[in-house]
Structure 1
Amino acid sequence: MKWFLRLPLLVRIPLLAATMIFLIAMLVTQIAVFSLSRQYELLTERVGQVYLDGLSAAVLQPYLANDPEGIRSALQQSLNFYLGIVDRQLALIDQDAGIIAHVSGPNLETPTPPPDTVFQGSKGYAYEPESRSIWVWRELGEKGIISANLDISSFAQERSLLRFRLVLIVALMSMAAAVGGYIVIRRLQRPLKTLSEHLSHAVSFGPQRIDESQMPSEDRQTYSLMQAYNRMTEAVQERERLSEQLAKQDQQALLGRIAATLAHEIRNPLTGMMTALQTIRMYGDNASSRREALDFIDRGIQSLQGVAQATLNAYRPSAPGPDLKSRDLHDVILLVEPHAARKGVGVVHHISLPEPVRLDAFKIRQIALNLLLNAIQTSAEGKTVTLHASNDGNSFTLKVSDEGTGLPRHIESFLLADDTAYSDRSLGLEIVRRLAGELNGRIAVHNQAGSGSVIALTFTMPEDASR
């Protein structure tokens, strides 16, 4: 059965239909042959009864006169005259006395006793397969039974030959009908075969339209089905074209966003480096001031490299930056102080990092820088922005608080990882959330409308130094 299931569906269906046609035709033939045999037996029994009618008229008088010799003589005389029906043996039976007379013809050497069914019914027949003969009997008078054993071998032979011919002819016709049915069904399935081939092609190479010449216009239902497939194919191809266009647009938007992020992040270190250069111009003769300004410029250049790597890390893995030190956060304070001074906002810091922290310094600097710039931007003149940084050995905490009007709810929701809540987000907050996620940090927002807000980030120390 497994081999049949491995055949294509378009072959299995017509093959199964052809097999059913053949089997049903053969079953109907067997039923017809059985009915024909039954009718043949009944007809033979009726012929036998007609034969017994004539025989009864010949032996009735001797039987009523209780003349055994007359009975035997009448039976023997009947055996000598036959036409069409060959009687092998005749018997007259009395229900009280038993067999009164029993004679056999020249084609039978020794008479055989009648079957037991002769003694059990007043009328009937019984077939003997061995001798290919039939026993028939009927009543004679009140207690007598006249029976005859008729040779039906020629009839049986004709019946067997007829059955063989009938089965052979029906088998040939059934096979022809099965083959014809297979061909017709395959022809009817031709449109489905075309559709199946296109579906298989669509799985491997994408959908393609069905040519109009392959669509049966006379079969409206199949024609409509193929038209529906063509419409689906056009829709899929159009969707693929739109997807390609959207992918290109997304790529262009990503490149633009990366460019904007780099410009946004590089601008702030450059401002601090320009301040350091002004310090060198003004106090270049002072070795201590010059050295401090040059160190700041060096760290600023490293920060610019880290900003570029951290920004590109959104789509290209990059090596981690150096461990975070207290000096990195002090540099951030130096970067934002000119901007805060222009707005009249004070900047206070509480940095408690006696030892380096095993976190990416470039990314922490970016987070702190963006949070401080946003806090300064939302603070009014005369207010204060505070940076807290501490490390307890297991986790590093960075807090930025301000005295502004408080974070709007949609910005707070965005920082807590709800993308649908913030549609006008700035690049700074987006970078904060992305970098915090890359460092497995947790963001908490404490917001009081009208009295400022606190944004706290907690980072668990990585187990290995490679982060």
Structure 2
Amino acid sequence: MGIKIPLVVTIFMAMVAGFISERVLSRLEEAQTRHVTDLTAVYLDGLALALADPVLHDDPWEVFDVLDRSRQPAVGLRPLQTVVANPDGVVIAALDPRAVPSRMKLPPALVETKTGATVEMRDEDGQAVTRRNLSSGGKLIGSVYTVFDITSLLAERRAVLATLIATNIVLTLVLGLAAWLTVRRMMKPVQVLARHLRTELETGVAPIPDRVVSEARGEFKTLFAAFNHMAAAVQEREALLSRVAQEERLASLGRLASGMAHEINNPLGGILTALDTLREHGGRPDVRDRTIALIERGLNGIRDVVRTALAVHRPDPGSHSLRPIDLDDLELLIAPEIRRKRLHLCWNNETRDEMAVCATPVRQVVLNLLLNACHASPPGGDVAFRASAEGPHLVLQVEDSGPGLPEPGRLVLEHGGAGAHPSNGALGLWVTRRLLDEVKGRVSVTQREPFGTSVVIRIPVAGKRMLADVA
């Protein structure tokens, strides 16, 4: 903007200067033409009076004598050639007899000269040509053709043109520079605002320094203050959203707490019973082996539950690529909720290789959707999960048999909250949307017939790394 506006001003000034120059030169040319016409009229009036009698008697010597006396520029114009001819176009005498001999036909250049009060300006030759008819007693007796030198007038016209061009160039440059300096000063607050907006896109919103705000004037000072107020609100909102996301993570962990307690309590009860058995009958090898195996299975079960919970809910700064087992672990986590509501779970993980997708946000997204599906489905309903690799995308699908996802929740999942605020029951879905943004995932939500919801997620994969089968 700081360049475009001065450039437009400069172009406009050049157009105006060109128009003014053209009008000045046109008026100058008209003035010079009128001046030459007036001077030649005075010159030819006197010459016509002197030539009337010699032309009537067809006396070339007397005509030449009159023409010779007219050599001096009596009226400010220097005649280059004067020719007197009879009505038949035959030369009686000429100012320069060697160029136009007597008793010869008029040169074509003079024959084409129009008669009248106007002067024919021939700028390319630096000449002005005029013609005056001679009459006596109302009868045409001849014509006078005169060629004047107008090089001085053309030189004056060129000097005016050069002066106009030089003046216009200087004025255009000066005004263009003044416009650039003015616009630059006016645009400086806008540039400050644009710089902070670019910074917001790259590294996050940052307020304009108080020193810059205090130096601003008028509307820009108000604008800067409003921007800082908005920046503070955005920073506060980002901090609040970060806390909300963490609280939602902890809330989802709390929802699993009772189920995990049950999963851990059952193996612990078995382990304690096995220890009592080992204490009383440990001397028998068969009893000891079976008891130790039971204790080992119970401890492994507890280890799997704890490991899966930590993998999903504890931040992992060095998160690895997604493996099939990272998704299969989630089946173990939602198993208590599935049993509590007597749901039917259809689990289909078709991924076989490690995929270049950050595992932590993907696991959290799938767990949130599965918990929402369990919550939406009625007792005895169906919940389904499917994962597959389709070209350069990881495709995840979660289905339930509930009444359907409300419109605000669908908008949150598909558009990141357009049309719905992350309150009013859509908080978990909003956090899921934020996690999907981290992995550039796209979501489509459709209603199943006769009831239920299907959520399909497509996550781009940077590449696949083939590993040995870990199943």
Establish whether TM, by shorter chain, passes 0.5: yes
Q: Deviations over 1:300-345 (max 9, x none)?
A: 1222222222333436679999xxxxxxxxxxxxxxxxxxxxxxxx
Query: Residue 466 of structure 1 aligns to a residue in which SS?
Result: coil
The answer (yes or no) to whether the contact 2:33–2:119 under 8 Å persists in 1 is no
Q: Which residue of 2 aligns with 1:158?
A: 156
2:20 and 2:130 map into 1 onto residues whose CA distance is 31
The answer (yes or no) to whether the contact 1:49–1:136 under 8 Å persists in 2 is no
2:25 and 2:381 map into 1 onto residues whose CA distance is 87
Matched, 1:275 2:258: no
Deviates more, 1:257-266 or 1:51-60: 257-266
Q: Which residue of 2 aligns with 1:455?
A: none
The answer (yes or no) to whether the contact 1:136–1:148 under 8 Å persists in 2 is yes
1:305–1:167 distance in 2 versus 1, CA, 3 Å: closer
Q: Which residue of 2 aligns with 1:51?
A: 43
Aligned residue identity for 1:49: A
Residues 277-356 of structure 1 mapped to structure 2, 5 A cutoff: 277-280=275-278, 288-314=286-312
Deviates more, 1:94-103 or 1:76-85: 76-85
Query: Residue 144 of structure 2 aligns to a residue in which SS?
Result: strand
Residues 421-440 of structure 1 mapped to structure 2, 5 A cutoff: none
1:306–1:237 distance in 2 versus 1, CA, 3 Å: closer
2:78 and 2:158 map into 1 onto residues whose CA distance is 19
Q: Which runs of 5+ in 2 are unaligned?
A: 344-374, 385-397, 406-424, 426-466
RMSD: 4.2
1:76 and 1:173 map into 2 onto residues whose CA distance is 51
Matched, 1:466 2:470: yes
Q: Which residue of 2 aligns with 1:216?
A: 217
1:245–1:82 distance in 2 versus 1, CA, 3 Å: same
The answer (yes or no) to whether the contact 2:132–2:145 under 8 Å persists in 1 is yes
How far off its partner does 1:266 sit?
0.8
Query: Residue 309 of structure 1 aligns to a residue in which SS?
Result: helix
Query: Residue 84 of structure 1 aligns to a residue in which SS?
Result: coil
How far off its partner does 1:194 sit?
2.3
Aligned residue identity for 1:308: V
Q: Which residue of 2 aligns with 1:410?
A: 378
1:91 and 1:77 map into 2 onto residues whose CA distance is 14
Over the matched positions of the two proteins, sequence identity in percent amounts to 25
Aligned residue identity for 2:201: V
The answer (yes or no) to whether the contact 1:91–1:147 under 8 Å persists in 2 is yes
1:109–1:139 distance in 2 versus 1, CA, 3 Å: closer
Q: Deviations over 1:414-465 (max 9, x none)?
A: 7233478699xxxxxxxxxxxxxxxxxxxxxxxxxxxxxxxxxxxxxxx975
Residues 54-69 of structure 1 mapped to structure 2, 5 A cutoff: 54-69=46-61
1:231 and 1:147 map into 2 onto residues whose CA distance is 88
2:227 to 205, 226, 229: 229
Max Rg structure: 1
2:131 to 127, 132, 137: 137
The answer (yes or no) to whether the contact 1:191–1:216 under 8 Å persists in 2 is no
The answer (yes or no) to whether the contact 2:64–2:95 under 8 Å persists in 1 is yes
How far off its partner does 1:146 sit?
1.7
Count of residues in correspondence between the two structures:
347
The answer (yes or no) to whether the contact 1:56–1:140 under 8 Å persists in 2 is yes
Q: Deviations over 1:45-90 (max 9, x none)?
A: 3422332223222223433444444433333333357242222221
Q: Which residue of 2 aligns with 1:454?
A: none
1:126–1:224 distance in 2 versus 1, CA, 3 Å: same
Q: Which residue of 2 aligns with 1:178?
A: 176
1:21 to 13, 17, 34: 13
Q: Which residue of 2 aligns with 1:247?
A: 245
Q: Deviations over 1:4-49 (max 9, x none)?
A: xxxxx42343244334424542453244324423442343234223
Query: Residue 79 of structure 1 aligns to a residue in which SS?
Result: coil
Q: Which residue of 2 aligns with 1:122?
A: 115
1:207–1:95 distance in 2 versus 1, CA, 3 Å: farther
The answer (yes or no) to whether the contact 2:120–2:130 under 8 Å persists in 1 is yes
Q: Which residue of 2 aligns with 1:78?
A: 70
Q: Deviations over 1:329-388 (max 9, x none)?
A: xxxxxxxxxxxxxxxxxxxxxxxxxxxxxx98x98888878766765xx9xxxxxxxxxx
Q: Which residue of 2 aligns with 1:193?
A: 191
Matched, 1:11 2:11: no
Tell me the TM-score normalised to structure 1 length: 0.60
How far off its partner does 1:131 sit?
6.0
1:175 and 1:157 map into 2 onto residues whose CA distance is 27
The answer (yes or no) to whether the contact 1:89–1:150 under 8 Å persists in 2 is yes
Query: Residue 89 of structure 1 aligns to a residue in which SS?
Result: strand
Aligned residue identity for 2:109: D
Q: Deviations over 1:387-412 (max 9, x none)?
A: xxxxxxxxxxxxxxxxxxxx994356
